[in-house]
Structure 1
Amino acid sequence: MPRRENFMKHVATKTTYLEMLAAPEDAVEPPREDLSVSRKVRPTVEEYLYLYNSVGRDYQWIDRNLMAPDELEVILRNELIEVHELSVGDRAAGFAELDRRRDQQVELAYFGLFPEFIGQGIGKYFLQWVVERAWSYQPRRVWVHTCDLDHPAALSNYQRAGFQIYDEQIIQQVVKET
């Protein structure tokens, strides 16, 4: 059986790093009553990859799929990693992962909506909710990175939420061969 790495290639990708050095003052109310956010405490690898792939499939999110399941499980069991799910009614609609493993920092490691929920006005609320959750730990900063493979509105959404660009780099990103 061929190794999955054989179906990968590297592409030059502009990666933008953004940060917040203070919590935003404005709270965002849910735009509709059927929204809820829940923490997925110790999700299984399968549950996690369902959320991760549902959000990232169209944007070349493959890093976590390349990890051995036991390696990913170690990350998911770390109490400094938080996985949050946005739901519309009883349907999963989005996913966010906060990483608090760096001292006095919270990284918004992954964030996004399932494709069928993009454009419904719920992303702003979910991003604000996740940012407020990150600041609840009183870090020195909250940061995120995005690249030109992500949704075209990702960078502007982060900036509207209060993140400021602090670095840009061209990196060689591993992507699926098409």
Structure 2
Amino acid sequence: MADHTFSLTRPALPINDTPGRLSVIVTYLEMTAPPAHPPLERPKGDLALVRANPPSWSFYRYLYDTVGEPWLWHERRRMPRKELERSLNDPRVEVWVLYVNGTPAGYAEIDRREAATDLAYFGMLPDFIGLKLGPWLLDTAIRLAWDGGATKLVVNTCSFDHPRALPLYQRMGFVPVRHVVREIHDPRVNGPLPRSAGPHVPIVE
């Protein structure tokens, strides 16, 4: 089901008491010009931002699974390995990995295969959330997207994501263009995610 009613702020999440189902609001945002603000100051410490060119399937899945499990990311867990590898091996798909003291701390995935460049995935590993690294990584990824020839940059976030995700995207210059309400099968119920995933989202049974 879908509700295309738009507001600058995310609407209230509908109550869903259907066993094994979840309601989610997806917010689509876009940026039509490079950021007007100066680049954020690089955080102190031993940081390195490196493009995995391309990442191996196993390393990518480590990043995706570890970053996404708290927020119920499940699409790439369902994707057949060969299909995912085709995407990762496409030179128009860029996976930028942030390392802190030699340890992966977060990543951003820039997909240039469509007319609008898509910031397809962005997030921090749980151990590095709250250390003020995320805004710098996002700001840097946005600039990499524009420097690589983007004419429009798009991203989406949903009500499963960190509550600061949507305000952060807006602070960096993205503008919401639509909200869509969807009902999905809970990926923790006979699905690809463990039942411990997304502790902030109750399982309806």
TM-score if structure 2 supplies the norm length?
Answer: 0.79
Q: Which of 5, 9, 16 is equivalent to 2:27?
A: 16
CA distance in 2, matches of 1:12, 1:29: 38
Please say if 1:107 is aligned against 2:128. Answer: no
Q: Which residue of 2 aligns with 1:83?
A: 95
CA distance in 2, matches of 1:173, 1:50: 24
Q: Which of 28, 40, 61 is equivalent to 1:49?
A: 61
Structure 1 residue runs of 5 or longer lacking an equivalent are 1-8
Amino acid at match of 2:150: P
Structure 1 residue ranges (4+ consecutive) displaced by more than 6 angstroms after TM superposition: none
Query: Between Structure 1 and Structure 2, which shows a larger proportion of strand residues?
Result: 1
CA distance in 2, matches of 1:98, 1:73: 15
Deviation at 1:12, TM superposition (A): 1.8
CA distance in 1, matches of 2:30, 2:21: 27
CA distance in 2, matches of 1:168, 1:120: 29
Output one character per residue of 1:96-116: Cα deviation in whole Å (capped at 9) or x when no partner: 11110102x210100000011
Q: Which residue of 2 aligns with 1:4?
A: none
| Higher mean C-alpha displacement, 28-37 vs 54-63 | 28-37
Which of the pair has more CA radius of gyration? 2
Please say if 1:131 is aligned against 2:142. Answer: yes
CA distance in 1, matches of 2:183, 2:32: 28
Query: Between Structure 1 and Structure 2, which shows a larger proportion of helix residues?
Result: 1
Q: CA RMSD in A?
A: 1.2
CA distance in 2, matches of 1:139, 1:146: 20
Deviation at 1:33, TM superposition (A): 3.2
Output one character per residue of 1:125-173: Cα deviation in whole Å (capped at 9) or x when no partner: 0000100001012322101000000111110110111111011110233
Q: Which of 121, 133, 153 is equivalent to 1:142?
A: 153
Secondary structure (helix, strand or coil) at the match of 2:42 reads coil
Aligned residues: 169
Please say if 1:93 is aligned against 2:105. Answer: yes
CA distance in 2, matches of 1:57, 1:164: 26
Secondary structure (helix, strand or coil) at the match of 2:106 reads strand
CA distance in 1, matches of 2:135, 2:154: 17
Q: Which of 31, 37, 44 is equivalent to 1:32?
A: 44
Secondary structure (helix, strand or coil) at the match of 2:98 reads strand
CA distance in 1, matches of 2:97, 2:172: 19
Secondary structure (helix, strand or coil) at the match of 2:43 reads coil
CA distance in 1, matches of 2:150, 2:88: 21
CA distance in 2, matches of 1:173, 1:149: 12
